[in-house]
Structure 1
Amino acid sequence: MNFSNEMPLGIKQLFTSVTNLKRHEKVLIITDDNKKEIGEFVYGYAKEYFDTTLIVMPTRKGHGAEPPEAVRGAMENCDVAFGATTMSMYHSKARLETSAKGRLRWVGLQDYALHMFEEGGLTANFDEVASVIDRVSEHYQGETFKLQSPGGTDMVCSIKGREPVFDYGTSKVPGSASFPPNAEVALGPVEGTANGTLVFDGSIPHPKLNILENPVTCKVENGYITEITGEEEANILREILETFEDDTVYNIAELGLGLNEKNVICGHMAPDEGSLGNIHIGIGKNLNFGGHVDSPLHLDLVMRDVTIEIDGRLLMEEGKLKV
Structure 2
Amino acid sequence: MDVDYEEIAYKIVHMCARIREDETVTIMGREDNLFYCELIALACSKLGALPHVAVRSDTYALHRATETSLEYLRKTPRHIKALIQNSDVIITVSFLFKDPALSSRIPEERYSAERSGNKPIKDIIFDGHRRWVGTDFPTPEQAASYGVDFEYYHDTFWQAMNIDYPALASRAEDLAVVLRGAKVVRIFSPKGTNLSLSIEGRRINKDDGVIDEEDVKRGDPYLNLPSGEVCMAPLETSANGKVVFDIGFWQGQKIKDLEVEFKDGRVTPLGAREGLDIFVKVLETSEGDKDRIGELGIGLNPAVKEAIGDTLLDEKIIGTIHLAIGENRNEGGINNSTLHWDLLVEKATVEVDGRVIMREGKFSLDIV
Question: In 1, distance between residues paired with 2:288 and 2:77?
Answer: 25
Partner-residue secondary structure (3-state), 1:162: coil
Distance across 2 between alignment mates of 1:6 and 1:155: 43
Unaligned runs of 5+ in 2: 66-73, 97-114, 140-153
Following superposition, the deviation at residue 98 of structure 1 comes to 4.8
Alpha-carbon RMSD: 3.1
Counterpart position of 1:207? 251
What's 1:251 paired with? 292
CA contact (8 A) 1:8 1:118 kept: no
What per-residue deviation string (whole Å, max 9, x for no partner) do you get for residues 7-32 of structure 1?
A: 3554343234322345665432123x
Cα displacement (A) at 1:288: 2.6
Distance in 2, matches of 1:9 and 1:68, equals: 34
* TM-score, reference length from structure 2: 0.73
Match of 1:313 among 355, 359, 363: 355
Q: Counterpart in 2 of 1:170? A: 210
Conserved? CA contact 2:10–2:40, under 8 Å: no
Q: 2:138 aligns with which of 100, 113, 116?
A: 113
Deviation per residue, 1:64-115 (Å, 9 max, x gap):
x99733233223333432112336x9x956455456574x3210125x4153
Bigger relative contact order (CA 8 A; separation at least 6) = 1
Rg bigger for which structure?
Answer: 2
SS in 2 for 1:249: coil
Structure 2 residue 261 is matched with structure 1 residue 263: no
Give CA deviations for 1:15-63 in whole Å, capped at 9, x if unaligned.
Answer: 34322345665432123xxx4323x1322312433243112478599xx
- Asked whether the equivalents of residues 13 and 123 of structure 1 are also in contact (C-alpha less than 8 Å), the reply is no
Q: What residue number does 1:17 align with? A: 15
For 1:139, the aligned partner's letter is V
Shift of 1:153: 0.9
Q: Given the alignment, which residue of 284, 288, 296 partners 2:330?
A: 288
Q: How does 1:1-323 map to 2 (within 5 A)?
A: 7=5, 10-22=8-20, 25-31=23-29, 35-38=30-33, 40-49=34-43, 50=45, 51-56=50-55, 68-86=77-95, 94-95=121-122, 97-98=124-125, 100=127, 102=129, 104-109=130-135, 112-114=137-139, 115=154, 119-141=158-180, 142-173=182-213, 175=216, 176-201=221-246, 203-210=247-254, 212=255, 214-244=256-286, 246=287, 248-264=289-305, 265-323=307-365
What corresponds to 2:145 in structure 1? Answer: none
The 1-side partners of 2:36 and 2:20 are apart by 16
> Percentage identity across aligned positions?
26
- For 2:68, the equivalent position in structure 1 comes to none
Shift of 1:166: 2.2
Aligned to 2:101: none
Q: Size of the alignment, in residue pairs?
A: 305
Secondary structure of the 2:197 match is strand
Q: Is the 8 A contact 2:185 2:352 kept in 1?
A: yes
- Counterparts of 1:224 and 1:306, CA distance in 2: 21
In the alignment, residue 136 of structure 1 is paired with which amino acid?
L
Deviations 1:226-278 (A, max 9, x none): 2231133222212222222x472111111111111112422223211122111
Kept after mapping to 2: 8 A contact 1:146/1:157 = yes
Contact 1:116/1:122 (<8 A) preserved: no
Deviation at 1:308? 0.5
Letter in 2 for 1:29: I
Q: CA 1:261–1:30 in structure 2 vs 1: closer, same or farther (change >3 Å)? A: same
Within 2, Cα distance between the matches of 1:259 and 1:297? 25
Q: Which has the higher helix share?
A: 2
AA paired with 1:86? F
Note if contact 2:238-2:265 (Cα within 8 Å) is conserved in structure 1: yes
**Letter matched to residue 197 of structure 2:** C
SS of alignment partner, residue 236 of structure 1: helix
Q: Is the 8 A contact 2:84 2:124 kept in 1?
A: no
Q: CA distance change for structure 1 residues 100 and 233 in 2, over 3 Å: closer, same or farther?
A: closer
AA partner of residue 133 (structure 2) = V
TM-score in terms of structure 1 length: 0.82
User: What is the distance in 1 between the residues matched to 2:295 and 2:52?
Assistant: 33
